[in-house]
Amino acid sequence: MSFLEPLLLAGLPLAALPVVIHLLNQRRYQTLAWGAMQFLLEASRTSRGYARIRQWLILAARTLAVLGLVLAASRPLASGRLGLRIGGGADAAYVVVDRSPSMQQRGTQTATDKLARGLEQIAAALEATGVRNCLLVDSVGRRPTPLDGPAALRLASQAGPASASADLPRLMQEVLEHIRVNRVGQAEVWICSDLRANDWQADSGLWPQLRAEFAALPQEVRFHLLAYPQEADANLALRATEIRRSDGSAGSQLLLSLTVARTADGPPQRVPVQIEIDGARSEAVVELSGRQAALENYPLPLAGGRQQGWGRLALPADANPADNEFYFVYGEPPVQRTVVVAEQRAATRPLQLAASIAADETRASEVDVRAPEQLAGVAWDETALVLWQAPLPTSTTPLAEFVARGGQLVLLPPAAPDGRELWGVRWTAWQTSGEPARVADWRNDADLLARTRSGAALPVDELQIARHCGLAGSVVPLATLAGGAPLLARAAEAPGGVYFLATTLDDRDASLARDGVVWYAAIQRALSAGCERLGVASLRIAGVGDAHGAEGWVRVAGPSDRLSSEAAFQAGAYRADARWIAVNRSPAEDLAAVVPQPRIDALFAGLRYDRADDQTDASRRLAREIWRTLLAAMLAALVVEAALCLPKPAAAAARGRGEFA
């Protein structure tokens, strides 16, 4: 329990007043010589037990009455079963809102989703605590935005549902920066989240740093986590895995591959999937047994041989509507154009091979080999991937624009590293090991070395690296050698996909070309990512990539209640000039893995932190003032006291009779 007027708690000792008065009264007895002692002794003997209990009850009632008055004046807050320790007097309250799709999960008895419930709870709690200075830190906007009081939380359009995953460490960092820059006094940070692993990134190295920096702040910062960790019992998630347009003798058609997954095992069921293409609807049925079912190459005829357009897949309503829809767009696939920049043209053969053989035989690939000094005339706007095996460029202007537009850049070390930097990263020196080094650790959940669609891991551990070049600067390692040196890393400060491979494809340096699966898969993934911006139709993951490029998008299909400025974060089909873009949630959102409570608690170790697990179906408030209850309790105590103090009817009658019975 916490109090809005804690100073008034200094009056709590007044609760002892009835006891003190009783003791003083006991000491102020009068002395009386008495004759009829035998009746007094008998009365005292027979009434001792009851009288003592009654006396204690009266004292307890009086003490409770004073206690109730003092506590009511202190304006206590009851946080109920949730157990939050809320204190008044915070200068600012940061409300960190996880707007990820999983937060749209509804309760079993109410239609309220986790996000709306959490916002309502926090708004009510902030209103109860009297905090006026509220700042919203949502997982889409990320920057702290001032609100007109806690009530604005309920109506804030930038706190509505989104399709992009949240990045909690990043949001916390924003809060930290805001507190530092604005020199906020005592601050409260309210976090509303469902604790999904992909949102919290509990393994991120940013958390220890955040912990240390929050702990080092001179002002007090309290963290309140309002968690909704419960998962839906029966929830279906729909995702299209491949959309391919083909022209045959029967006409043009789309070949659609999709998966339907559910969160828990259950009996086999037929799941109707509604398919909408350019406004025309049809339905397919997926037989679901086990956790997941797939539909491969489901033909959908295109009316009039349409070359490009959009579509939507939908499931019947269930616990979470956010994963019941999937948008796609289709069109002519772009040419997979790769530019290979190499200081030695003879060494470019493995690079050309990996880039020129497309994984999809229907798609065209082109490779343009250039020397570093021959970059003029490169069609950057039509290029998806640049493989750079040369000293780092002196001018980054064309490359920076290329990367910023979504192009992918893979850099390999030159024969003689010269110390130049690119996005804060530079090659250091070649290092040769006696025995070929193996890859000790690599990231297989995302990026270039992720598992294949079937779930199999790439044989990265089979690679043998005889010689590698050192890397210095801010990078995110994707594969690390046994000695700890990065083999493949992503430039942390680059605006897009910029990768550094710390060896070459020469057999004397590494077995990348000989065991070509890893290299081929990585290059094809980079090409695919780079082509997304080039084709007429592109699929994007909400919240990934350049959000500013989405400013001119026009929504063609999708929820109508979402902000147009958040197009890159909201699922839907969009059109930008001649291009079609489909935005969908991240695949990680369908995994529904929840970070365990001890792990979450450990993230806030050493900080003033408390956590409350709430449910969408619960009717309890997070915090409310209970002075009325205490006043009622005080009145009840006074009534009890008065009842106990009333003279007994028999005694009153006996006295009333006067002298004789």
CA separation for the pair 25, 23 (Å, rounded): 5
Q: Which alpha helices (H) appear in 503-586, and where do they start and end?
A: 516-531
Whole-number Å distance between alpha carbons of 489 and 498:
9
> Which residue, 492 or 652, has its beta carbon nearer to other proteins?
652
Q: Among 146, 142, 131, which residue's Cα sits nearest to residue 182?
A: 146
Residue nearer to other proteins on the CB measure, 268 or 658: 658
Pairing of strands 336-342, 292-301: unpaired
Selected binder of other proteins within 181, 434, 508, 660 (CB under 8 A): 660
Q: How far apart are CB 20 and other proteins at their closest, in Å?
A: 15
Binding-site size, other proteins (CB under 8 A)? 34
Rounded Cα–Cα distance for residues 26 and 98 (Å)? 63
Smallest distance from other proteins to CB 65, Å: 20
In degrees rounded to 5, what are phi and psi of residue 590? -80, -10
Smallest separation (angstroms) from other proteins to the CB of 649: 9
Q: What is the DSSP string of 504-565?
A: -S-TTTBSTTTTHHHHHHHHHHHHHHHHTTTSSEEEEETT-S-SGGGTT-EEEES-TTS-GG
CB of 63 to other proteins, least distance (A): 19
Q: How many CB atoms lie within 10 A of CB 210?
A: 21
Q: At its nearest, how many Å lie between other proteins and the CB of residue 640?
A: 17
Q: Is 395 exposed, middle or buried (0-12, 13-18, 19+ CB in 10 A)?
A: exposed
Q: Cα separation of 486 and 427, whole Å?
A: 12
Please identify, among the stretches 416-424, 433-441, 528-536, 642-650, the one whose residues bind other proteins according to the rule CB under 8 A.
Answer: 642-650
Of the pair 482, 654, the CB lying nearest other proteins is at 654
Q: Which is nearer to other proteins, 183 or 648 (CB)?
A: 648
Interatomic CA distance for residues 234 and 246, integer angstroms: 36
Token digits of residue 190: 């309210």
C-beta of 62: minimal distance to other proteins in Å?
A: 15
Name the residue nearer to other proteins (CB basis): 44 or 297.
44
Our CB check for other proteins shows the closer of 44 and 292 to be 44
Choices 145-153, 389-397, 421-429, 651-659; region in contact with other proteins by CB under 8 A: 651-659
Question: With respect to other proteins, which residue has the nearer C-beta, 43 or 364?
Answer: 43
- Candidate list 111, 250, 379, 661; residue touching other proteins; CB under 8 A: 661
Tell the residue number behind the tokens 């094809």, with chain if given: 524
Please, are residues 355 and 340 in contact by the beta-carbon 8 Å criterion?
A: yes
**CA nearest to 296, candidates 245, 250, 243, 249:** 243
In the region spanning residues 289 to 318, those forming contacts with other proteins, defined by CB under 8 A, are none
How far apart, in whole angstroms, are the C-alpha atoms of residue 644 and residue 624?
Answer: 33
Contact pattern for other proteins over residues 21 through 60, marking x by CB under 8 A: ----xx-xxxxxxxxxxxxxxxxx-xx---x--xx-----
Query: Residues 450-489: x/- map of binding to other proteins (CB under 8 A)?
Result: ----------------------------------------
Nearer to other proteins, 17 or 53 (CB): 53
Residues near other proteins, by CB under 8 A? 25-26, 28-44, 46-47, 51, 54-55, 647-648, 650-651, 654-655, 658-661
